[in-house]
Amino acid sequence: MSTLTQSRAWLALKSHREALGGVRMTALFAADPQRFENFSLRQDGILLDYSKNLVNAETMQLLVALARERGVGDEMNRLFTGGIVNTSEMRPALHTALRSGQALIVDGTDLLPQIRATLARMRDFTGGVRTGSITGRSGKQFTDVVNIGIGGSHLGPALATRALAPYASGGPRVHYVSNVDAAAVEGTLAQLDPATTLVIIASKTFTTIETLTNAHLVRDWLRHVTGTAVGEQLVAVTANAQRAVDFGVAEDRVFPFWDWVGGRYSLWSAVGLPVALGVGMDNFDELLLGARAMDAHFRDAPFEQSMPVTLALLGVWYNNFFGAASHAILPYDESLALLPAHLQQLDMESSGKSITRDGEAVDCDTGAVIWGAPGTDAQHSFFQLLHQGTRLIPADFIAACRPHHAAHGSHAILLANFFAQTAALMNGAPKDGFPGNRPSNSILVDKLTPRTLGMLLALYEHKVFVQNTIWGVNAFDQPGVELGKRLASRILPELEGGDAVTAHDASTNGLINFYKANRDS
Ligand code: F6P
């Protein structure tokens, strides 16, 4: 593939960007009375309004041409059909197969039977726990579930559990512990009765130190009530069944997780078990169906009409042609409070790369910093910088038209703020020192249901995929997180002895030795 920044489509975008100069969005609206209709997309109850962006029709055509030139269509085809899209680890990335309901033959094996069998086991198990036919040693119904996992084995499920709380009646309370800081595990366990607590250890590798450390603490806590046999209170979700069994999880309580599912794309697998325990398997199936609907839209819609492609192209536009280094995620919905954290892993672990799939250094910026928080709280913390700071920060505003509560007055205020903020970012008030002309996407869903949540999350998965395809980087590996892990395991034994540590750079030695001199003995 030609160097990205020397490609025909890239150079055309570069000249177009120069020609646009300081174009004002307000002028683009004035010139096109149909701009809202022309620059918005609707799909299954979701509206994406991208009219408040620094783009005109030609910009979008040139961006679509870039997507074509970079082979987004072929790569998408590889993604959906089990081709090797994770080129460094030489494997497919088949999160879409988890929700497709379709046969898919990879290396001569149809994946559908194992996916279906796992979903059936999840249905039996979640049904049993929710009705009380599956209990722990005490015979009492499980009242609480603790999911121990980190990264993809935590963020997606935690987000979904919180977002779908209105669907959780009749299920156990679901808690998440991820950080190896024992304050997290202790704070969670303090509220719980071990006799009625089910513990899920979610780890693709079953080697992640944070998860295993917390799993040992929780297993010890369970043993206080059950004697030594804790098997009935433990479940594992892993691709490494043997290690889970060695840890003490009964073999029939190990739910599989396959190496063709990336951690940050794993909500749709048995990693979603805590979600299904909380909201029931029918609602979990709806979540999968929502994602399936977004997959179909992504696969079938022309690029010009595709929500994920549009979001990705706008991301590339600001990242690479305006120098925008970050992107804000602003859910106007308290139940989506964990969406920025989930998208941080999804996007930044996927896009934080500076080497292409061909092993060359990239010749343009790749992943932006993803950050955000729910509105309206965020308006009272960092919005000042969005409005009047020196940096351009594109933002996605996300809300549901219909809330799950009955306080319609509050919801109207929430949404009035959403609309006001996107308008203020665009229009500004130049006389008063508000420059305006700051871009945003608005995503409105009819109601936040399992189905629309599934669509929303799949929308961002595909956005990330398209961006990485354009940049030529692998969205499905994360070698960068390994170095720190290796160093931590080297430093851990050094913390034990009394001797001063001298093996590292002066700063690291100094920090370690300060800690050793000051810790509790
Ligand atoms: O952060 C690195 C990472 O490998 C993630 O990709 C993954 O989701 C997380 O660690 C947890 O890994 P595991 O599920 O194997 O415990």
- Is the CB–ligand 1 distance for residue 454 below 6 Å? no
Instruction: Give the Cα-Cα-Cα angle 264, 395, 417 (nearest 5 degrees).
Output: 120
How far away, in angstroms, is 440 Cα from ligand 1 center?
31
Mutational test site, ligand 1, from 208, 271, 486, max ligand atoms within 8 Å of CB: 208
Q: What is the pTM of this model?
A: 0.97
Does the C-beta of 339 come closer than 6 Å to ligand 1? Answer: no
Given this model, what pLDDT does residue 144 score? Answer: 98
CA distance 182 to 269: 28
Task: Give the number of the atom of ligand 1 that is nearest the alpha carbon of residue 264.
Answer: 8
* CB of 178 shorter than 6 A to ligand 1: no
- Dist. CA 355–CA 365, nearest whole Å: 11
Choosing from 481, 482, 483 the residue with most ligand 1 atoms within 8 A of its CB, the one to mutate for a pocket test is 481
Residues with a known catalytic role: 349, 380, 485
The sign of the CA dihedral 339, 341, 345, 347 is positive
* Ligand 1 contact, 264 CB (< 6 A): yes
Of 239, 258, 187, nearest to 218 by C-alpha is: 187
Residue 208 CB less than 6 A away from ligand 1: yes
Query: What residues in the chain have per-residue pLDDT under 50?
Result: none
344 lines ligand 1 (CB under 6 A): no
For atom 9 of ligand 1, the residue with the nearest CA is: 151
Task: Specify the pairing of strand 105-106 against strand 109-110.
Answer: antiparallel
The three-class DSSP label of residue 245 is helix
Q: Which atom of ligand 1 is nearest to the CA of 238?
A: 14
Which atom, in ligand 1's list, is nearest to the CA of 211? 16
User: Each residue of 17-43: pLDDT tens digit?
Assistant: 999 999 999 999 999 999 999 999 999
Q: How far is the C-alpha of 304 from the C-alpha of 40, rounded, in Å? A: 11
Please report how the helices 209-226 and 480-494 are oriented relative to each other, as an axis angle in degrees rounded to 10. Answer: 60
Percentages of the chain per state (helix, strand, coil), in multiples of 5: 55, 15, 35
Cα Rg of the chain (Å, integer): 24
- CA nearest to 318, candidates 26, 32, 55: 55
Task: Name the region of 107 (left: φ>0; alpha: ψ -120 to 50; beta: rest).
Answer: left
Cα-Cα-Cα-Cα dihedral of 284, 287, 288, 292, to 10°? 170
CA angle 155/350/298 to nearest 5° reads: 90
Calculate how far, in angstroms, residue 147's C-alpha sits from the geometric centre of ligand 1: 14
> Does the beta carbon of 213 lie inside 6 Å of ligand 1?
no
How many angstroms separate the alpha carbon of residue 233 from the centre of ligand 1?
24
Can you give the pLDDT at residue 228?
Answer: 65
Residue 69: in which H helix or E strand, if any? Answer: helix 57-69
**What are the distances in angstroms from CA 463 to CA 76, 187, 481?**
11, 36, 22
Ligand 1 pocket residue status of 151, Cβ below 6 Å: yes
**Ligand 1 centroid vs 61 CA: distance in angstroms?**
38
**Cβ neighbourhood burial of 442 (10 Å; 0-12, 13-18, 19+):** buried
Please measure the distance between the N-terminal and C-terminal CA atoms of the chain and give it in whole angstroms. Answer: 59
Q: How far is the CA of 500 from the centre of ligand 1 (A)?
A: 32
**263 pocket-lining for ligand 1 (C-beta < 6 Å):** yes
Of all protein residues, the one whose alpha carbon is nearest to atom 10 of ligand 1 is 151
Q: Is 428 in the pocket of ligand 1 (CB under 6 A)?
A: no
Q: Which two tokens stand for residue 134?
A: 């599956």
